[in-house]
């Protein structure tokens, strides 16, 4: 495997002052390439080697890297004398709020934050304040950020999960040290696509919220079965918990109205990040007015604290306005284009697996796709972790990276197309995908 010399040199140097040498430790992969430039659908490493990018920095780049309209909006706001005033409101944040609320049917009003983790934190706090109930349900295999309320039960190893559970919950499996046991005991992980388990948890504990990615996109692309999201809506109404859609990955990627609009299910609260500002750091918490208004409840005992020095910084706000306006052009025709590219990729990959006699399925939603080396499509993490060929997945991705196709070299990570990808990019990727697969399947001499 090629670990470029210069990349290695930079990593070793950075280890002196950064633990592990890398900021944000989930960026640690092998090969550990150092990238220095990106444009559109392409990345270049420090040796000048070019890659077609399907990682999209964990998802934000729906328009591609360095989009000129987004860049222009950012430059304009910097040159305008706008700044972070930290006092009162301003026209820019009002413009973005109006744009988002008009684009997304389930959102009456919004607040702005910097990261998805901050936004899910605030959503859960709102739900607890509203319902007076502290327990939370989340799907096993969902990711909602790094904080104590949610940093658990993501890619839990099979031996820590035990046998398939339904109805019921999986053992608590924090993904970080330092989470107090009291916090973990308030979070209940259930199979995705399993309504009976949500009902079971609600019968055992006072549940204030269920938070979920409407499509599990931190373990590839695991889709809701017909009736699942509607069933959760009905359970929320029946048991009196708030339904929170974490659309940090799905929002603005699959449709302007998010996956809630695609599925036609209304959550109580919803969180966006990533694609909303095409790579600039912004997150949005939105939802029904009666819950959002808890941030300004007249009675301080019921008011939820929302404060952040950098919330609504004009640079990401300008980037988001430009991104959403571009996504909305011509009635959102960009999404049809992304879907067509996605179909071409999905069909091409499925053909390759079939031609090479590999048991696999390709799961896709618009521009996001993932390949599973197993029989059928996974319905939840338990099925995935017990059946997917992780070793083949990783070996294939590393071969692809060698060949200039950047699928993040970690198993079951979602791949993302952007509006900057072309049909030629997809066709070239498919050629390389076929050769890479044949190469990793050759017996070792």
Which residues sit at the interface with ligand PMP, rule CB under 6 A? 58, 115-117, 120, 143-145, 213, 218, 246, 248-249, 273
Nearest approach, Cβ of 175 to ligand PMP (angstroms)? Answer: 12
Q: Of 205 and 310, which CB lies nearer to ligand PMP in the complex structure?
A: 310
Q: Of 125 and 249, which CB lies nearer to ligand PMP in the complex structure?
A: 249
Nearest approach, Cβ of 208 to ligand PMP (angstroms)? Answer: 19
Three state DSSP letters for 338-352: HHHHHHHHHHHHHHH
Q: Could you tell me which of 411, 145, 440 has the C-alpha nearest to residue 273?
A: 145
Q: Of 58 and 239, which CB lies nearer to ligand PMP in the complex structure?
A: 58
Residues forming beta bridges with residue 416, ordered by sequence position = 368
Q: Of 286 and 352, which CB lies nearer to ligand PMP in the complex structure?
A: 286
Question: 319-352 b/e with 16+ CB inside 10 Å = b?
Answer: bbbbbbebbeeeeeebbeebbebbebbbebbeeb
List C-alpha distances in Å: 100 to 71, 119, 441.
20, 15, 47
Q: Could you tell me which of 10, 56, 67 has the C-alpha nearest to residue 33?
A: 10
Nearest approach, Cβ of 167 to ligand PMP (angstroms)? Answer: 25
Q: Of 213 and 383, which CB lies nearer to ligand PMP in the complex structure?
A: 213
Distance of CA 100 to the CA centre of its chain: 19
User: Residue 80 and residue 90: Cα distance in Å, rounded?
Assistant: 14
Q: Of 146 and 428, which CB lies nearer to ligand PMP in the complex structure?
A: 146
Burial category of 387 from C-beta neighbours within 10 Å (exposed 0-12, middle 13-18, buried 19 and up): middle
Nearest approach, Cβ of 344 to ligand PMP (angstroms)? Answer: 25
User: Residue 153 and residue 161: Cα distance in Å, rounded?
Assistant: 9
Helices within 362-413 (DSSP H only): 381-387, 390-402
Q: Position of tokens 């490493």?
A: 45
Q: Of 2 and 25, which CB lies nearer to ligand PMP in the complex structure?
A: 25
The closest residue (CB) to ligand PMP is 116
Nearest approach, Cβ of 213 to ligand PMP (angstroms)? Answer: 5
Nearest approach, Cβ of 142 to ligand PMP (angstroms)? Answer: 7
User: Residue 110 and residue 272: Cα distance in Å, rounded?
Assistant: 10
Q: Of 114 and 130, which CB lies nearer to ligand PMP in the complex structure?
A: 114
Across 202-326, where does the E strand assignment appear?
A: 207-212, 242-247, 269-272, 283-287
Nearest approach, Cβ of 116 to ligand PMP (angstroms)? Answer: 2
Nearest approach, Cβ of 119 to ligand PMP (angstroms)? Answer: 8
Dihedral over Cα of 224, 228, 233, 238: its sign: negative
């Amino acid at each position: 495997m090629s670990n470029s010399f210069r990349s290695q040199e930079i990593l070793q140097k950075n280890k002196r002052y950064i633990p592990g040498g890398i900021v944000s430790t989930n960026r640690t992969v092998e090969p550990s390439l150092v990238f220095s430039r990106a444009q559109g659908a392409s990345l270049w490493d420090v040796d000048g080697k070019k890659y077609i990018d399907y990682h999209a920095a964990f998802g934000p780049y729906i328009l591609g890297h360095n989009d000129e309209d987004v860049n222009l909006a950012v430059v304009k706001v910097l040159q305008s004398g706008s700044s972070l005033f930290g006092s009162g409101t301003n026209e820019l944040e009002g413009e973005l709020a109006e744009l988002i609320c008009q684009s997304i049917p389930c959102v009456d009003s919004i607040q702005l934050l910097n990261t998805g983790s901050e936004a899910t934190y605030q959503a859960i706090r709102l739900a607890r304040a509203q319902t007076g109930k502290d327990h939370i349900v989340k799907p096993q295999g969902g990711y909602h950020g790094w904080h104590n309320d949610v940093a658990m039960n993501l890619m839990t190893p099979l031996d820590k999960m035990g046998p398939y559970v339904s109805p019921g919950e999986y053992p608590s499996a924090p993904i970080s040290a330092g989470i107090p046991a009291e916090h973990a005991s308030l979070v209940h992980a259930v199979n995705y696509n399993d309504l009976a388990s949500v009902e079971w948890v609600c019968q055992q504990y006072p549940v204030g919220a269920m938070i979920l990615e409407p499509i599990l996109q931190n373990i590839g692309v695991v889709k809701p079965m017909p009736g699942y999201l509607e069933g959760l809506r009905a359970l929320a109404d029946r048991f009196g918990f708030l339904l929170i859609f974490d659309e940090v990955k799905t929002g603005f990627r699959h449709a302007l109205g998010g996956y809630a609009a695609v599925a036609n299910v209304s959550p109580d609260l919803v969180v966006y990040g990533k694609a909303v500002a095409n790579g600039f750091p912004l997150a949005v918490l939105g939802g029904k007015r009666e819950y959002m208004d808890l941030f300004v409840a007249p009675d301080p005992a019921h008011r939820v604290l929302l404060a952040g020095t950098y919330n609504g910084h004009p640079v990401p706000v300008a980037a988001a306005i430009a991104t959403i306006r571009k996504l909305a052009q011509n009635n959102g025709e960009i999404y049809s284009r992304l879907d067509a590219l996605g179909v071409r990729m999905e069909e091409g990959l499925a053909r390759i697996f079939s031609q090479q006699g590999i048991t696999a399925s390709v799961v896709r939603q618009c521009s996001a796709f993932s390949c599973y080396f197993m029989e059928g499509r996974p319905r939840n993490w338990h099925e995935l972790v017990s059946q997917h060929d992780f070793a083949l997945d990783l070996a294939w991705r590393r071969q692809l990276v060698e060949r200039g196709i950047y699928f993040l070299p970690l198993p079951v990570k979602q791949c993302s197309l952007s509006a900057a990808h072309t049909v030629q990019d997809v066709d070239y990727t498919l050629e390389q995908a076929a050769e890479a697969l044949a190469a990793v399947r050759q017996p070792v001499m």
